[in-house]
Structure 1
Amino acid sequence: MITRWSSVLSSLSSFILAILIGGSLSAPAAGQSSAGPQQAPTERQRLAPDFTLEKMSGEPFQLSEHRGEIIVLNFWATWCPPCKQEIPGFIALQKEFREQGVTFVGVSLDKDGFSSVRPYAEKMEINYPLVVDDGTVAAKYGGVRVLPSTVLIGPEGKIRHRKVGFFPEQQLRLQLKTLLGQTDSSGW
């Protein structure tokens, strides 16, 4: 019973910490909407920094080899409740948009690497590449202070959108359809 309560309290404290950090670092500035793009205008068309990391399968994943695809680059961790909440939507969207050239990539910030990621990925049946940050990738993207954080990269290799915090499936679907030219972006 004590072990169970300890586990519940640990999960709850992680969740509260994620909310506190997310609320203090990702709140919009005065006059800004939290629904709009969350990047500086100068970054919107910046070339996404290239990186190479080992996938869970042991093969390398190099971002630049996926030029021509739309990449959903998601920084996450197995201990992060909002990260775990958005993964089922990512799985569904990867399945829905795979044939249209959309690739999700999960960049784990778990300190113990694949020893935490692998069991969780297998349990959730994650259908997209997972890599573990070696300490350089998050830094290349300006540092990741809030999890989850997602970067949408267009087929030309440029950053098109950033979302700090939970990315609802419907909002992400709209962003992907816009990048694919299937709808206009006036809904944002």
Structure 2
Amino acid sequence: MMRNRIIAMIILLFAGATVYLNMFQSKDAAKSADTAPQAGYLAPSFELASLEGQPYRVGGSRDKPLLLNFWASWCGPCRQEAPDLKALYDQYKDRLDLYAVNATHQDTIADVRETVKEFDFRFPILLDPKGDATGSYQVRAIPTSFLIDKSGKVVDVLYVMEREQLEQKIKKLISD
């Protein structure tokens, strides 16, 4: 009788410990799965090839601040902001990098090339064929942009906005 009680208590102890540990692991996993880049935190690192095949790296310290834009050729709001991005890059390219990450896993290279030609983009177009960068930045809607300072920290997360508003944010970023 005493032996059965001891075995039952050991089983209950193990079951309780298992439930307790699983609760905390689930919370930690949920927390990391829901954590997208935020202002004040380091930008996730990645390396992608450009449309021309040249590798570009994001993450860590850099010479200039960065406007990191996630887009696709079929995206109406992306097309709407394209002329503003081009104009702002042309104006601030000496003080700001702009990388446009194409959601290539949801796009075609032919459409990307056509869009780049149509809008005369001169900034690097990075291809994300597996969605790795899009995933690490947890991009839920496109376009989504991230302003990243020289130390590699996210300063702001942006969605489509008027050119004047975006320019004010860029001016603040490059003056810091």
TM-score (norm 1): 0.68
Q: In the TM superposition, what is the alpha-carbon distance from 1:167 to its structure 2 partner?
A: 2.6
Of 68, 71, 74, which residue of structure 2 is paired with 1:79?
Answer: 74
Aligned residue number for residue 58 of structure 2: 63
Task: Calculate the aligned-residue CA RMSD, in Å.
Answer: 2.0
Letter in 2 for 1:54: A
The answer on whether the counterparts of 2:51 and 2:124 sit within 8 Å (CA) in structure 1 is yes
C-alpha change, 1:156 and 1:65, in structure 2 (3 Å) is closer
Which 5+ residue runs of structure 2 have no aligned equivalent? 1-34
Of 47, 58, 61, which residue of structure 2 is paired with 1:52?
Answer: 47
| Partners of 1:57 and 1:106 in 2: CA distance | 13
Aligned residue number for residue 169 of structure 1: 163
The answer on whether the counterparts of 1:113 and 1:132 sit within 8 Å (CA) in structure 2 is no
| Partners of 1:64 and 1:159 in 2: CA distance | 10
TM superposition outliers: structure 1 runs of 4+ over 4 Å: none
Q: In the TM superposition, what is the alpha-carbon distance from 1:92 to its structure 2 partner?
A: 0.5
Aligned residue number for residue 137 of structure 1: 133
Q: In the TM superposition, what is the alpha-carbon distance from 1:65 to its structure 2 partner?
A: 7.8
1:156-177 Cα offsets, whole Å, 9 max, x none, are 110000013x132111100011
| Partners of 1:144 and 1:126 in 2: CA distance | 22
Aligned residue number for residue 107 of structure 1: 101
Letter in 2 for 1:171: Q
Q: In the TM superposition, what is the alpha-carbon distance from 1:68 to its structure 2 partner?
A: 2.5
Aligned residue pairs: how many?
A: 139
Identity %: 29
Q: Specify which structure has the higher proportion of helix.
A: 2
Letter in 2 for 1:145: R
C-alpha change, 1:116 and 1:65, in structure 2 (3 Å) is farther
Aligned residue number for residue 4 of structure 2: none
Which 5+ residue runs of structure 1 have no aligned equivalent? 1-39, 183-188
The answer on whether the counterparts of 1:68 and 1:157 sit within 8 Å (CA) in structure 2 is no
State which structure, 1 or 2, has the greater radius of gyration over its C-alpha atoms. 2
The answer on whether the counterparts of 2:69 and 2:144 sit within 8 Å (CA) in structure 1 is yes
- 1:99 partner SS: coil
The answer on whether the counterparts of 2:51 and 2:125 sit within 8 Å (CA) in structure 1 is yes
TM-score (norm 2): 0.73
